[in-house]
């Protein structure tokens, strides 16, 4: 994980595609999405095709940096499953079609810290017993979204305790939040405003994972699926 840095070009590239605070998203009727969510969304924030194109470039950056190494990809469930699957797929394609190749093993860890659209202090790590395989390995943690960064900080401390050789983090989304822990992924897909987003495996109380685009949930959607 990189520490925050000033206004230079490298740091800007590190932020990925920066979505400004006043970005309203696209009208829902310009895209297809499951009819059961028709009342529950405000806008399409990042269309599925754009996510795919950005993921392809992240795969190339990872390949450029880590190619010819062996890595263990550590997928952070549940929200990271789609991004991880698509990222691994694109790295596989590059491994077949370039002079470099990346031997990948894939492992999973499950974290839970959110209730409704609020972060809770209670971070649960589930399925951590298998992480001894990370000892001495090059680890690529793949996470869907970094909000305050506290989840990632806790996870990094946990993963470091298994003494890997190297840790890199790929995050599809990083939120611009005032209370950021300052830890940023090494590979960032998009920097987004401080809004609650769903879709592409990101959930609100387990709903909306079955939505391809990253969308903004509506107030009625929040009420409908509140626990």
Catalytic residues: 147
**Whether the Cβ atoms of residue 81 and residue 116 lie closer than 8 Å to each other:** no
Nearest CB to ligand IMP, comparing residues 42 and 95: 42
Q: How far is the CB of 35 from ligand IMP (least distance, A)?
A: 22
Picking from 203, 77, 84, the residue whose alpha carbon sits closest to that of residue 128 is: 77
Q: Which residues bind ligand IMP (CB under 6 A)?
A: 79, 113-114, 119, 145-151, 196-198, 202
How many contiguous H segments (helices) and E segments (strands) does the chain have? 5, 10
Q: Work out the end-to-end distance of the chain between its first and last CA atoms, rounded to an integer number of angstroms.
A: 34
Nearest CB to ligand IMP, comparing residues 8 and 121: 121
Strands 17-18 and 70-77: unpaired
Q: How far is the CB of 101 from ligand IMP (least distance, A)?
A: 30
Residues 62, 52: Cα–Cα separation, whole Å: 15
CB atoms within 10 A of CB 86: 21
Nearest CB to ligand IMP, comparing residues 82 and 102: 82
Nearest CB to ligand IMP, comparing residues 72 and 197: 197
Q: How far is the CB of 146 from ligand IMP (least distance, A)?
A: 5
Q: How far is the CB of 184 from ligand IMP (least distance, A)?
A: 11
């Amino acid at each position: 994980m990189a520490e925050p840095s000033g206004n230079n070009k490298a740091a800007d590239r590190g932020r990925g595609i920066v979505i400004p605070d006043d970005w309203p998203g696209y009208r829902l009727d310009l895209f297809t999405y499951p009819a059961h969510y028709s009342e529950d969304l405000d806008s399409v924030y990042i269309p599925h095709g754009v996510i795919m194109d950005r993921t392809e470039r992240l795969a190339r950056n990872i390949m450029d940096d880590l190619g010819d190494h062996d890595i263990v990809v550590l997928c952070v469930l549940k929200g990271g499953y789609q991004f991880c699957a698509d990222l691994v797929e694109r790295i596989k394609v590059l491994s077949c079609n370039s002079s470099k190749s990346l031997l990948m093993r894939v492992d999973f860890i499950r974290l839970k810290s959110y209730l409704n659209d609020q972060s809770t202090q209670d971070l649960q790590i589930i399925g951590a017993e298998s992480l001894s395989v990370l000892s001495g390995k090059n680890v690529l943690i793949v996470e869907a979204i970094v909000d305050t960064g506290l989840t990632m900080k806790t996870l990094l401390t946990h993963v470091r305790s298994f003494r890997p050789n190297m840790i890199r983090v790929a995050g599809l989304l990083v939120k611009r939040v005032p209370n950021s822990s300052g830890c940023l992924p090494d590979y960032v897909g998009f920097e987004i405003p401080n809004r609650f987003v769903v879709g592409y495996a990101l959930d609100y109380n387990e709903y909306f994972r079955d939505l391809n685009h990253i969308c903004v949930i509506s107030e009625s959607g929040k009420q409908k699926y509140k626990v």
